Chains A and B, each alone.
Chain A
Amino acid sequence: MAKIKIYTSPKCPHCKMLKEFLSKKKVDYIAYDVTTDKEALKEMINISDGVRSVPVIFLCDKVIVGFDQGSLEQELTKCLGPGA
């Protein structure tokens, strides 16, 4: 079961870069397109305390808004252990 959920929109370059980054790191994730999946949009806004900007990343009970490679790398290590 993937520990990571990402909320994305189709025309968002940061979302695409995030997906490529996670794939490169061989990290499993579930991606939701919040432009078509209204439930996912609601869930995203809910868990992030009102964020309406993509990508939103949910990992190990932590919510990260936006794709910032440096901080994401740190959070991945915290969440999945070193080597992630």
Chain B
Amino acid sequence: MEGCPFCIKAKSFLMEKGIRFSEIKVRPGSKEWAQMHQKTGMRIPPQILDGDEPIGNYSDLVNAYAAGKLTEKPGLISTLYDVIIIGGGPAGLSAALYAARKVLKTLLISQDIGGQVTYTYDLDNYLGFSQIETADLIAKFEEHVEKYGVEKQVGKKVTSLDLTGKIKKVTSDDGKTYFSKSLIIATGKRPRPLNVPGERELIGKGVAYCSTCDAPLFAGADVAVIGGGNSALEAVLDLDKVANKIYMVSLTELSGDQITMDKVKKSSKVKIYTQYDTTRIIGSSSVEGVEIKSLDTQHVQKLDVEGVFIEIGLLPNSDLVIDILSTNEFGEILIDNMCQTGIAGVFACGDVTNVPFKQVIIAAGDGAKASLAAYNYLIRQR
């Protein structure tokens, strides 16, 4: 019944113990109220039934549990976590560490470990490391988290979230549902696709999003880089070492660090097309060319290339919550300075949020903040 503290207590108790139950809401005078009376002889909610057998009220439930009299055994629903963290990049891993150190029952679910940072070979701006390979930094992060024995489900994609109740439900692509008192969303960003014909079909077969990984595979080849910002410029420089000819195609004028732009402009291998749209990637079993269109003259031309590196920015992985949480025009989850999303018990951190300056160290710091905020929230719920 609404406004019934012992009903809430009974539900929390069952949740805590992992005992499956279904809830029948009653109101004085309703059909359900009459049923409750008929089955239990009582008119004061909550009334708990084990199968058809009436157990009594909240304290009877606790006693029945303590005496081992319940036929529904504990643990039939998944464990109830204090916090579930979605995402295994710097924000998620840092959140996991802080949660574990607060002795919260924690689960980290992620498709991968490392996230976007693994699209970069090395870093030279993470405090304490003047130069470190990203794979090594992530291994250190993971090792640190593992020290605290955080439960992890890696390689699992979260397919749906139910944030309506006090207990949050997280369902993954293997059909499992996990229950938690709080949730931290640290799903980061992914490379933005061009969304042109041929792109999806030729991913890995000439269409690439990781120049540091795949540039060396295009030795002696003619290639195109799509984009006009810093990551596109960096991709051009990665390719400049190995490729024969590099076409840089950008919708806008180039923008980025002056030093990088100068290096790109100086290279004899690079031909720059600004104010050009990329309209199609051509090829049957592998990339054979790219079609570009001048914004000015509408003239369409084909560039013969074996590789197309797409570096047009990033998209936040907020699809799961886009209809539930407030987001900005980029799709980033809006959070306050306590990483709160607007739904009680749901926090977000890292690059999926509107926090300015996307940096590994900022994501890691925000992950810590989200966990501490979740901890404060959980304390207040007790």
Contact = CB atoms under 8 A, between A and B. Distances in A.
Interface of A: 9-17, 20, 34-35, 41, 49-54, 65-73
Interface in B354-376: none
Interface of B: 111-114, 117-121, 133-136, 138-139, 154-156, 203-206, 208, 210, 212-214, 216-219, 285-286, 306-307
Given A13-B121, A71-B155, A53 B214 contact: yes
Given A13-B134, A66-B204, A53 B213 contact: yes
Contact of A70 (B138, B156, B212, B306): B156
Given A52-B205, A54-B213, A54-B217, A11 B121 contact: yes
Contacts of A35: 216-217, 219
A52 B154 contact: no
A17 to B, nearest CB: 5
Given A11-B121, A12-B213, A17 B205 contact: no
Contacts of A17: 113-114, 118, 135, 138-139
Contacts of B138: 13, 17
A9 B216 contact: yes
Contacts of A14: 118, 135, 210, 213
A17 B135 CA distance: 6
A19 B250 CA distance: 36
B214 A13 contact: no
Contacts of A65: 204
Contacts, number: 94
A73 to B, nearest CB: 6
Contact of B119 (A13, A41, A49, A67): A13
Given A13-B120, A13-B138, A50-B206, 4 more contacts: A9-B213, A13-B135, A34-B217, A50-B285
Contacts of A49: 205, 285
Contacts of A73: 155
- Smallest CB-CB A-B distances: 10 pairs: A70-B155, A16-B135, A12-B213, A35-B216, A53-B204, A13-B135, A50-B286, A13-B118, A11-B121, A69-B155
Nearest to A16: B135
Contacts of A13: 114, 117-121, 133-135, 138, 212-213
Contacts of B119: 13
A65 B139 CA distance: 21
Contacts of A70: 111, 154-156
B135 A52 contact: no
A56 B286 CA distance: 16
Contacts of A52: 204-206, 208, 214, 217-218, 286, 306-307
Given A51-B204, A66-B204, A69-B155, A20 B216 contact: no
Nearest to A72: B155
Contacts of A71: 155
A17 B140 CA distance: 12
Nearest to B283: A50
Nearest to A18: B135
A67 B113 CA distance: 10
A9 B214 contact: yes
Contacts of A68: 111-112, 155
A68 B210 CA distance: 15
16 contacts: A9-B214, A11-B121, A11-B212, A12-B121, A12-B210, A13-B114, A13-B133, A13-B138, A20-B135, A20-B139, A35-B219, A50-B206, A52-B204, A53-B203, A53-B208, A73-B155
A69 B135 contact: no
Contacts of A20: 135, 139
Contacts of B133: 13, 16
Contacts of B285: 49-50
B88 to A, nearest CB: 9
Contacts of B117: 13
Contacts of B218: 52
Contacts of A16: 133, 135-136
